[in-house]
Structure 1
């Protein structure tokens, strides 16, 4: 089934829609580091420590999915356990904010700064080029954004759901998730997302919008230094 590809989202994205962003090493696939710090694999017999000498392009990365084998050559910084959630029907709310697609160089810099203020460590300089990103401005300041990250033939990940700390509680996230998922549905794909399992507030928001729990999935953060 196509939905089973969500069990290994990095690997399948880099095999399908995002194959042009892929780096392949010893049975692993990584996003080129300027785009995304994620990697994936399919065969557990490939110890991740085998990559240590080849990972010259990054010293900090995530393996998404199954527990990888590793040795003291690598340091496991953390295992971020996320709920993977999927949306089967369009969100039933009205769009009443002015939403803009973030396309210009200035807008992309503003997006990078906002995401790394709210959710540092996952959004690199060219992550914006993996999909479409949308924002809400107030007094010429980007105060909220959401967009698309990993993409497969049938699924697109909703990512970077961020609101500036001084502008929370105004419903901007709902509006931007609605806009982003509308675009995904219009492309005949199904939206899904990852949210930290401890982030109860965000999970409740996604449930209210119609997302349903699919499974838990781990983001294993390693360093090579």
Structure 2
């Protein structure tokens, strides 16, 4: 029997976040404004014809696991590989490692978008912070680091949007924010998981040291309808 992590995009968009998605039983995507992620019942054989009515030309959408030929009417604008990691089951932090972190809400959307566009932590939209808890560090009125929750499937909960402004790196902000989320997720009986690009070895090594383990390495593509 397949594990929910094996096709977590679909299991999220056709499960807990179905009300935040558009599509059919053959293809789903987050509604515009959320993270531009798509899922298919079989990610290795995606039905782009079923997805097409829910997209606009030039839109960039993220899908995983698929490495087949590009269908007519679509083009690939980026391709890489990423690791999917899952919490290894150890106990989380005993105390809140980031008690001074600020909960992020609608008032922080513009700053969160600006930070995401600068640091590129992955697909991020103006409504992404509505997908779960988000926390950040603010200095002199400016958001300088953030991390939060995105996808959900069964008891799994993704940590995502992890980023720090280049001028404020090296202070441990991102790690403390992630540890805070891990602690809160484990208290809810959730299992944390996350994604990191394979080329980002520094972050990958950090996540392994924190208590995550590799689940798989998979292709990730950014596709655009023509």
C-alpha distance in 2, partners of 1:121/1:210? 21
Counterpart of 1:21 in structure 2 is: 20
Match of 2:118 in 1: 117
Q: Where in structure 1 are there 5+ consecutive unaligned residues? A: none
Aligned partners of 2:137 and 2:145 also within 8 Å: yes
Whole-Å Cα distance in 1 between the matches of residues 215 and 20 of structure 2? 26
The answer to which of 86-95 and 5-14 deviates more is 86-95
Partner of 2:217: 216
Judge which range, 173-182 or 25-34, deviates more: 25-34
Contact kept? 2:93, 2:183, Cα under 8 Å:
no
**Over aligned residues, Cα RMSD in angstroms?**
2.3
Instruction: Determine the structure 2 residue equivalent to 1:75.
Output: 75
So what's the TM-score if we normalise by structure 2?
Answer: 0.88
**Distance in 2 (alpha carbons) for counterparts of 1:207 and 1:45:** 31
Asked if the contact 1:91/1:209 (under 8 Å) is kept, the reply is no
Give aligned pairs, total: 223
Offset, 1:84? 0.6
Q: Which residue among 101, 125, 138 is the counterpart of 1:99?
A: 101
**Residues 39/58 of structure 1: CA separation in 2 closer, same or farther (3 Å cut):** farther
**Secondary structure of the residue that 2:170 maps to in structure 1?**
coil
Contact 1:145 1:161 in 2 (8 A): yes
TM-score by length of 1: 0.89
Instruction: Give 1:55's aligned residue.
Output: 55
Residue equivalent to 2:184: 183
Q: Partner residue of 2:198?
A: 197
1:175 match: secondary structure: helix
5 Å-filtered alignment, 1:33-48, equals 33-43=32-42, 47-48=47-48
Once the two structures are superposed, what CA deviation does each residue of 1:87-137 show, in whole Å capped at 9, x if it has no partner?
A: 12344486256111112x322222121112111761111111111100012
Structure 1: how far apart are the matches of 2:174 and 2:45?
41
